[in-house]
């Protein structure tokens, strides 16, 4: 079976090895003739990026690039990206890379025509209606990792550089017009990034599956996304050139981000403040938090995981799934505690207060409070 396809859900997607060569067609479909490729500092000089710029240049699209993007992108990166877009006379964005490049690229396209500060569009109520929708530039997204799924998301996570709080900025038109999912672009990922990003996709699926909200479509996508990660992440981790495993992980990443329309939960509520304060890798942080959160939510989610476990090839129902998750983390080199990633117990009260404000709290099957979040931080740090 060829792992290639053209999908229209949740947006237009060109999926398959070698399809980065269709980038000029994707730009044309999105109405872009002079794109700005937005990526992160680490990717800017790598062959995968330079060859993409070559494809753009050969097609007459120029080779405009902005790469002053931090691992946890902030409003200063965003302001600089908007300035580069305007200075270059661009008419659209190619959001290129992992979560940071994708998130910031989407926000550059979003903010280039707005007159209000980015924080006015946080994912609260109907704040997104404050934006001038007609001023949002078209976006083509090209993921180079298999984790965040930001390529199919209608939001970006931006860190406030003053408060170190991660904010989710939402607008329906931030969903890219066209996505190119080429698993060959992920072949060069180092092992720890393969593991961390893959477990980010897994966390998205686990939390969406656990969320109490009603969304049967997301529930089904989350279940199959978990299966794809379980079956393929160890293979991609062991052999980065296994293109079939890489393709299945790229699908799982997009599925996780599609599924979490149903909600995220305590894993992400804990992870976002840790990433903002200690600059840890998001997916790896999620993975460390997962065992404690599963135990915390046990009474509310046991029945659904009892049903899911056999489909996932795991015996022992929910308890077997929990044991599997810890073994899975261990096999992929994930630390058991956040202290091993630089987090300390001295700021737990501050972290818990930040976590309680995180929008992810709303999707947790057990109500989160300052007290139980404090306890969870003690467990995971």
Distance CA 253, CA 143 (A): 10
Work out the angle at residue 178's Cα, subtended by the Cα atoms of residues 24 and 26, and round it to the nearest 5 degrees.
10
**Buried (b) or exposed (e) across 102-140, using 16+ Cβ within 10 A?**
bbbbbbbbbbbebeeebeebbbeeeebeebeeeebbbbb
Quote the pTM value.
0.95
pLDDT tens digits along 268-301: 999 999 998 998 999 999 999 999 999 999 999 9
Alpha carbons within 13 A on the beta-carbon side of 371? 2
At 207 the pLDDT is 98
Q: What share of the chain is helix, strand, coil (3-state, %, to 5)?
A: 60, 10, 30
At 55 the pLDDT is 98
pLDDT tens digits along 242-267: 999 999 999 999 999 999 999 999 99
215-235 average pLDDT score: 97
Distance CA 199, CA 171 (A): 26
CB count, 10 Å around CB of 53?
19
User: In the chain, pLDDT over 70 holds for what percent of residues?
Assistant: 100
Tokens for 94?
Answer: 């190619």
Which helix H or strand E contains 206, and what residues bound it? helix 191-210
């Amino acid at each position: 079976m060829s792992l290639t396809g053209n999908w229209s859900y949740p947006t237009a997607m060109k999926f398959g090895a070698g399809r980065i060569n269709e980038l000029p067609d994707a730009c044309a479909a999105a109405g872009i003739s002079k794109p700005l490729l937005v990526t992160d500092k680490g990717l800017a000089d790598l062959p995968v990026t330079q060859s993409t710029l070559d494809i753009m240049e050969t097609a007459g699209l120029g080779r405009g690039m902005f790469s002053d993007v931090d691992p946890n992108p902030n409003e200063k990166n965003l302001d600089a990206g908007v300035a580069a877009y305007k200075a270059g006379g661009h008419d659209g964005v190619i959001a290129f890379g992992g979560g940071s490049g994708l998130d910031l690229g989407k926000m550059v396209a979003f903010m280039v025509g707005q007159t209000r500060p980015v924080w006015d569009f946080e994912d609260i109520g109907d704040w997104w209606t404050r934006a001038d929708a007609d001023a949002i530039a078209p976006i083509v997204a090209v993921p180079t990792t298999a984790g965040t799924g930001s390529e199919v998301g209608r939001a970006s996570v931006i860190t406030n550089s003053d408060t170190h709080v991660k904010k989710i900025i939402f607008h329906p038109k931030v969903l890219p017009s066209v996505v190119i999912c080429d698993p060959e672009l992920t072949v060069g990922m180092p092992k720890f990034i393969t593991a961390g990003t893959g477990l980010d996709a897994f966390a998205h699926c686990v939390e969406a599956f656990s969320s109490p909200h009603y969304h049967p479509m997301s529930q089904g996508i989350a279940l199959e996304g978990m299966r794809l990660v379980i079956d393929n992440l160890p293979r991609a981790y062991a052999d980065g050139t296994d293109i079939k495993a890489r393709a299945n992980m790229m699908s799982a990443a997009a599925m996780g981000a599609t599924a979490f329309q149903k909600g995220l939960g305590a894993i992400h509520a804990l992870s976002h403040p840790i990433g903002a304060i200690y600059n840890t890798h998001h997916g790896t942080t999620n993975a460390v938090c997962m065992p404690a959160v599963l135990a915390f939510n046990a009474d509310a989610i046991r029945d659904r995981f009892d049903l899911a476990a056999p489909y996932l090839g795991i015996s022992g129902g929910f308890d077997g799934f929990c044991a599997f998750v810890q073994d899975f983390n261990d096999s992929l080199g994930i630390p058991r505690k956040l202290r091993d990633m630089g987090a300390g117990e001295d700021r737990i009260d501050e972290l818990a207060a930040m976590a309680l404000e995180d929008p992810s709290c709303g999707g947790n099957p057990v109500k989160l409070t300052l007290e139980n979040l404090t306890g969870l931080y003690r467990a995971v740090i």
